[in-house]
Amino acid sequence: MPDEIGVIVALLVMMAVIGIARPRFLNPINLLSLLGNTTFLGMLALGMVFLLAIREIDLSVGWMFNFSAVVVALLMVAGLDPWLAAIAGVAFGGCLGLVNGLIAVTLRLPAIIVTLGTYSMFQGLSLVVNRGRAIVPSDDGSSFFWVISYKLFGVLPVSALVFLLLAVAMHILLHRTRFGYRVQAVGSNPEAAAHAGIPTALVRLQTLVLMGAICGLSGTMYVGFRGAIDPNEGSDFVLVVIAAVIIGGTPLSGGHGTIIGAVIGMTIIQVISSGLIFFGIDATWSTFFTGAVTVLAVSLDRLIKYQRSRRAEKLRETSHG
Amino acid sequence: MTFRRTTSTAMLAAVALAFAGSGAFADDITIGFVAHAQGDPFVQQIQDGAQAAASDLGVKLVTAQQAGGAPEGQLKLVQNFVNSGAQGIATSVPGESMAKSLNDIVSGGVPLVQFNLLSKAVEAPYVGEKSVESGRVLGRMVLEKLGGESAKGTVVLGNCFPGFPVLENRAKGVEESLAKASGIKVLGPFDVKVSAVDNYNHWEQLYSANPDAVALIGLCAPDVTSLGKLNAAHGDKFVAGGYDMTELNLKAIKEGHAYVTIGQSAFVQGYLPVALLVNAIKGGKKLAPGFYNAGSQIVTADKVDMGNGLKPISFDEAQKLAADPKATAEYYKPWTETLTAQMLSSEPKPISAESE
């Protein structure tokens, strides 16, 4: 059974509980809408898995998302072809990640410290560029907005499909490539990784650039899907993204990461939010319930993992005995 | 093993209970109400108005609020309400990026009303104040206190959510009125944040940087409270003005640390959207985009002008209303009784009237 079985069970239990009490929740349109809701933050969670796996945290993800989206939208407003603007947006996000990476590697600082500063820098620069106003590019005459907003079979947003494809690609990158192995090796034991000849600084730099590029991609997709970017969008992303990755089973101690877990973790967060509304839980109680159900979901995951490890131990004892 | 199984079962039961805590509702109509800035007393007053409408009209109101004002989070709450079967949605709209998806909801047949914060791109009515005009009133009140058109000195302006059109419009109105005094120099608007602690800290820093300022003006609910505290700490040297009739804002005015606050009819901003939605749902009518003026109140320690044709009240009565949703609903009865089906079905003013 996969490592993510605990969170998968937690997710299924939640969906079953809500679905039994409120059958409308299991309506395919609602479930696809939930998937669509995970898209933009979910993409950021995929990048954050790599960072946690390498024992780093990037606090600036929300503003890299916002700044990239603002740049994309402004390029479109300036008359650049939206597809070219989209490519520029991803590259711009990568450049922001490069700024984080160069500072972290050159000054040998943890990314959490560096991004504590760049969090405000990127926010401030974005506000300077957008002048505190929403940027609304015209969607006339380009297939970009049509393609990003298009719903396959009338229900599945293209943006959600891109998210799922990106998740598959990132899973392969983490578990089937040299870069992925290096990330996990550096996160598991940086000194041992350095002794083994792994260029740890370069791996850190590459991981932070990857995070930035993903923020750029998410911001670009957001402009295409929503048709605008507001000055404060992204301000509340970072905690949700980190929570999704941790709920999904990626440890803060590094050395291991799970893309599938991050996708499930983000879905759990969306299911909790949706479930509270389906049950009509009052706004004043919803914050408490969000926290309580998150703790229950994580507890269920840990309990299942504990039972699995106990069972494995017993099997080992039996085979040795 | 039995213990483990029992623990797992108990945990599943706990998850179930956590979700199934609320009971079923018998009402035929369910309205979803979504607001920004969770925990803000002014937003809570709007929600109290919506609850009063639901109670008067016999419908179920389900509410959700999000911290801060990021549009994506708020949009998700709206979409969840639609998917859960709410027949109508009342929501503040803190960003243009919500417009496309909200229009999809409207075209899908779910009536929607915006309140407090709007996007003009949303094809749905908006209930709120006349934002530029209320700014003009605030600027005029402060200018009169400073000595009228012969006033001199620096006035600092703060905005808790830079980029929100309604707040930008208020700033525009304030600046328009202050421009009548050539000796007045306006600084800002500066970002003063919305959370109470951040808001006070930002105002404190602004005052430290401009200790000779003759007036400090905020555009959001927490400002008057922060400015009152700041003024009290510095010997009441400047004129403080801002928005909203929260308990703490009124206390700052009563104690003489702040001069004026402009109410934006929180009760009406909550009540009227629900009334419009229920009328449209019951009558099977489409809601036309446009502007419903919620009205404004002008409150100083000497005078309380409640607007909306309501009877005058004393400052103490205004304080009591700010703290008591039931008393507020009772006070607004003469106004709620004017909301006939005919009135609710009439065409709203063009949306441009909001910023005239």
pLDDT digits (tens, 9 = 90+) for B12-33: 444 444 444 444 443 589 999 9
- The tens digit of pLDDT for each residue in B289-332 reads 999 999 999 999 998 988 888 888 999 998 888 889 999 999 99
What is the signed CA dihedral for A61, A65, A71, A73, rounded to 10 degrees? -170
Residue environment code for B279-307, b if the CB has 16+ CB neighbours within 10 A, otherwise e: bbbeeeeebebbbbbbbbbbbbeeebebb
Q: Which of A149, A236, A281 is opposite residue B70, by nearest beta carbon? A: A236
Which of A205, A256, A211 minimizes the C-alpha distance to A47? A211
Phi and psi for A55 in degrees, rounded to 5?
Answer: 65, 35
Q: How close B318 gets to chain A, by Cα (Å)?
A: 25
Query: Which domains occur in chain B, in start order?
Result: 30-128+266-295+325-350 (3.40.50.2300), 131-263 (3.40.50.2300)
A294 at the B interface (CB within 8 A)? no
Chain A residue numbers touching B62 (CB-CB < 8 A): 277, 280, 282
The burial class, CB within 10 Å (0-12 / 13-18 / 19+), for B225 is: buried
A235 at the B interface (CB within 8 A)? yes
Residue type, A133: R
The burial class, CB within 10 Å (0-12 / 13-18 / 19+), for A320 is: exposed
The confidence score (pLDDT) of residue A155 equals: 75
- The tens digit of pLDDT for each residue in B147-176 reads 999 999 999 999 998 777 889 899 999 999
The confidence score (pLDDT) of residue B17 equals: 43
High-pLDDT (> 90) share of chain B, %: 72
Question: Are A292 and B7 an interchain contact pair (Cβ–Cβ within 8 Å)?
Answer: no
Angle, helix A5-21 to helix A259-278, in steps of 10 degrees? 20
Supply the mean pLDDT for chain A. Answer: 91
Pick from A20, A24, A148, A232 the residue to mutate for testing the B interface (most B CBs within 10 Å).
A232
The confidence score (pLDDT) of residue A140 equals: 65
Please check the confidence at residue B6 and state whether its pLDDT lies above 60: no
How many C-beta neighbours within 10 Å does residue A294 have? 18
Considering only residues 213 to 232 of chain B, which have any Cβ-Cβ distance to chain A shorter than 8 Å?
Answer: none
What is the signed CA dihedral for B48, B52, B55, B56, rounded to 10 degrees? -170
A91 at the B interface (CB within 8 A)? no
Regions of chain A short of the pLDDT cut 70: 1, 140-141, 283-284, 321
What is the rounded CA–CA span in Å between residue B245 and residue B262? 7
What is the rounded CA–CA span in Å between residue B199 and residue B203? 6
Chain B residue numbers touching A29 (CB-CB < 8 A): 83
Query: Which domains occur in chain A, in start order?
Result: 5-313 (1.10.3470)
Question: Are B38 and A232 an interchain contact pair (Cβ–Cβ within 8 Å)?
Answer: no
Q: Which of A33, A130, A279 is opposite residue B22, by nearest beta carbon? A: A279
How many C-beta neighbours within 10 Å does residue B314 have? 10
Q: What is the pTM of this model?
A: 0.82
Q: Which of B12, B83, B98 is opposite residue A33, by nearest beta carbon? A: B83
Least confident of A67-76, A293-302, B39-48, B130-139: A293-302
The confidence score (pLDDT) of residue A260 equals: 96
Contact B188, B174 (CB under 8 A): no
Q: Which residues contact B333 (CB under 8 A, 6 or more apart)?
A: none
- Does this complex have an ipTM over 0.85? no
Q: Which of B65, B67, B97 is opposite residue A230, by nearest beta carbon? A: B97
Q: Which two three-digit tokens encode residue A57?
A: 């945290």
* Average pLDDT of span B213-224: 95
Q: How close A174 gets to chain B, by Cα (Å)?
A: 29
Chain B residue numbers touching A157 (CB-CB < 8 A): none
Considering only residues 109 to 128 of chain B, which have any Cβ-Cβ distance to chain A shorter than 8 Å?
Answer: 121
Higher pLDDT, B87 or A292: B87
Q: Which of A233, A277, A280 is opposite residue B71, by nearest beta carbon? A: A233
Q: Which two three-digit tokens encode residue B291?
A: 């502007």
- Nearest residue on chain A to B164, judged by CA atoms? A133
- Nearest residue on chain A to B39, judged by CA atoms? A284
CA-based R_g, chain B, Å: 22
Dihedral sign for Cα B273, B279, B284, B289, please: negative
B21 at the A interface (CB within 8 A)? yes
Supply the mean pLDDT for chain B. Answer: 89
Chain B residue numbers touching A307 (CB-CB < 8 A): 4
The confidence score (pLDDT) of residue A262 equals: 96
Phi and psi for A248 in degrees, rounded to 5?
Answer: -70, -15
Chain B residue numbers touching A132 (CB-CB < 8 A): 162-163, 168
Q: Which two three-digit tokens encode residue B32?
A: 């979803």
Q: Which two three-digit tokens encode residue A13?
A: 């239990």
How many C-beta neighbours within 10 Å does residue A113 have? 13
Contact B306, B312 (CB under 8 A): yes
B7 at the A interface (CB within 8 A)? yes
What is the rounded CA–CA span in Å between residue B317 and residue B265? 15
Q: How close A13 gets to chain B, by Cα (Å)?
A: 7
- Nearest residue on chain A to B84, judged by CA atoms? A278
What is the rounded CA–CA span in Å between residue A87 and residue B257? 54
Q: Which of B65, B69, B97 is opposite residue A134, by nearest beta carbon? A: B97
High-pLDDT (> 70) share of chain B, %: 92
